[in-house]
Amino acid sequence: MSPLDFSVEELDELLDLASDIEKSPEKYAHVCDDKRLATLFYEPSTRTRLSFEAAMMNLGGKVLGFSSADSSSAAKGESVADTIRVVSCYADICAMRHPKEGAPMVAAMHSRIPVINAGDGGHQHPTQTLTDLLTIRSLKGHFDNLTIGLCGDLKFGRTVHSLIEALVRYPNVRFVLISPEELRIPSYIRESVLEKSGCPYKEMERLEDAIPELDILYMTRVQRERFFNEEDYVRMKDFYVLDKVKLSLAKEDMQILHPLPRVNEIAVEVDNDPRAAYFKQAQYGVYVRMALILTLLEVKLPWR
């Protein structure tokens, strides 16, 4: 699934459901009592896998799966297509993270159960986008008329690619893309998403210059695992560090998001600032994944 698998109206419904779950989690505690989620993670993850598992458990369901390719039959050479055929016999829904772009899409073509893309290489991370959308909507109340700064590794950062695709569909959203020259947004996003939609954007290198006009600052880490050599990574890794001094240039109501994990790009001194929203964002990730599981399993909620 990609953010664009849902229309704007369907996305609104999903986010409404997530907000209702946030308000009254007890209503949802047993709605998936007879359901199982498989988490097939061929790449490391903390938040995404655990938030999927927590989401299913909060709904009363059960979880099974693996958290690294080494501990699955992939290590013996099994294809994703074969693995998913088998997992379809054991679970009702599955979340898959894979280092190869497109692997969850291949799985979905061979699966009898819904397959959720939990991150595929440097390509997309749609459920992080749902998390980001719920966070922005909960903290700002709307998506339109926002200036959104995306800062860091815009080349390999898959969360940024999915988020842009989702947000260009709202009126008067503007992007400020803040990155070093070598980590600029890929041309397919620039051409097929930003330019095609007519969404205004500009590219900048200095965070200090960009920060005063932002309503949302979305920080990302430099994606070490996707670099071809360590020297380039070392040169780039501390390019941006958001600290109190830079934050003093920002609007009073700007919100700071980060998909996490954080490395050095946000100084720990920023964590206590009321604008730091990244740990709240991780909590929203559970609500939105609960809503996604309910939607894809078409669970009937008696009160809706």
**DSSP, res 184:** P
Interaction of residue 48 with ligand NCD, rule CB under 6 A: yes
Interaction of residue 128 with ligand NCD, rule CB under 6 A: yes
Q: What are the helix (H) ranges across 141-189? A: 158-167, 187-189
Q: One of 47, 110, 174, 237 is an active-site residue; which one?
A: 47
Looking at the Cβ atoms of 58 and 220, the one nearer to ligand NCD is: 220
Q: What's the CA gap between 184 and 7, in Å, rounded? A: 28
**Closest alpha carbon to 193 in 153, 225, 160:** 160
Which listed range, 28-36, 63-71, 256-264, 294-302, lies at the site for ligand NCD (CB under 6 A)? 256-264
Looking at the Cβ atoms of 65 and 259, the one nearer to ligand NCD is: 259
Interaction of residue 123 with ligand NCD, rule CB under 6 A: no
Radius of gyration of the CA atoms of the chain, in A: 19
Q: One of 49, 125, 155, 161 is an active-site residue; which one?
A: 125
What does the per-residue mask of binding to ligand NCD show for 257-296, with x meaning CB under 6 A?
--xxx-----------------------------------
Looking at the Cβ atoms of 138 and 220, the one nearer to ligand NCD is: 220
**Closest alpha carbon to 41 in 4, 80, 76:** 80
Q: What's the CA gap between 259 and 123, in Å, rounded? A: 15
Q: Specify whether the CB–CB gap between 90 and 38 falls below 8 A.
A: yes
**DSSP, res 149:** E
Q: Which residues are catalytic?
A: 47-48, 76, 97, 125
Contact set with ligand NCD (CB under 6 A): 47-48, 119, 125, 128, 158-159, 220-221, 259-261
